[in-house]
Structure 1
Amino acid sequence: MLTQAMLAGIEYSLEQAIARDPLTARRLGALEGKVILIRGSAPDWQVFVLPGEGKIRLMSQSELEPDCTLAAPSSLLAQLAFSDQRQRLLQDQQVVLSGDSQVLVTLQNILGDLRIDGEAELARWLGPVPAHGIANLLRSGRDWGTQTHQSLNHSLGRYLTEETRQLVGKAEANVAAEELHALQLRLDRLEARLQRLENPPQDTPDA
């Protein structure tokens, strides 16, 4: 569900925030070599999180054995990204945590001190209107009603499925631009050949 282009965009956002916080960059070094697997449901997706000094790598697939696995509904995992009540949310009965949970707790504490404007990052990928709507749902009160919960599931499902194709990473955009440029060159050469065929050069009469 999560494309590598989307993960590259998230990595870039984290990279920019970490670069502004040398202390966080050094603290991440304590988790070098650790692997955290996060699995979401409704819709289904997964991401391998590989922290290290000054960076956090994200991969949709990996042969690495996770040190810790966190599984929960996508709506709850998304709320974790925005809420300041992470400890309470991790105690939700829908959350399944296995392996060395201290790895996840350490990463959570480190990222908790990192200043990331989640709504701004959503807006960069989805646009300001849908980002604001999703953020408002995620920031809603502790006790969600059934309608609110279903609404959030629907919103996340829609943006993670129907609109995934719009979330093109910078690398993919550069490749697309290069392909368009190459195509334009081929079309220009073809047009020049057609013009020569339609207007062959006239023989110059002898003086």
Structure 2
Amino acid sequence: MPKIIDHDQRRREIVEVAKQLIIEGGFEAATMRSIVAAAGYANGALKRYFPSKDSIIAATFQSVLAEMNERSGEQRPEPEDAEAALRHYVEAALPLDQYRIDSARILLALWEHSVANEELAELYREHLRTWRAQLAERIAAARGKGEPPDAPAVTALAGEVIGVSIGANVTCLMFPDGALIPEYRAYVDRLLRHIAD
């Protein structure tokens, strides 16, 4: 009886290998040859799942963004606790543990690559639009002033949080031991005090 191969599982495994190579050696380390070797496949087997490095990179980018979105929805506080919901959502995007520090390393490599790849750039722009909209909803709810999510004060705060989150993800690459985690947690505390004003 022929062996049944789960092709979706194989694609996920290849993406995980690409992520690990990027974490360890940056974007340049994730060549087709190194991915094949690390995944333990024959040379031509990779093309069955991904026709090019760009297709692997696109799948890796989508995987990291999906994981970020999933983490921001995990263990969400009760809807009536708007401040806790905002804290959870903001913290999900900050490098507050090794997993998120590693994810930041992958995203930074992929952001750089997306400058020359319009498909990846649009994928990330869509992620940013969704992130901003969801963040603005949570900020408006936490402020409790009856403002719509597109109110200037709310959108300004959403922009600030996104800017700080991206900056923190870049900066953490220079401190992969997590030395800046207390600073990021203190930022969230200050943000929530400011929002409550």
Computing the radius of gyration over CA atoms, which structure comes out larger, 1 or 2? 1
Q: Same fold (TM over 0.5)?
A: no
Greater strand share, structure number:
1
TM-score (norm 1): 0.24
Greater helix share, structure number:
2
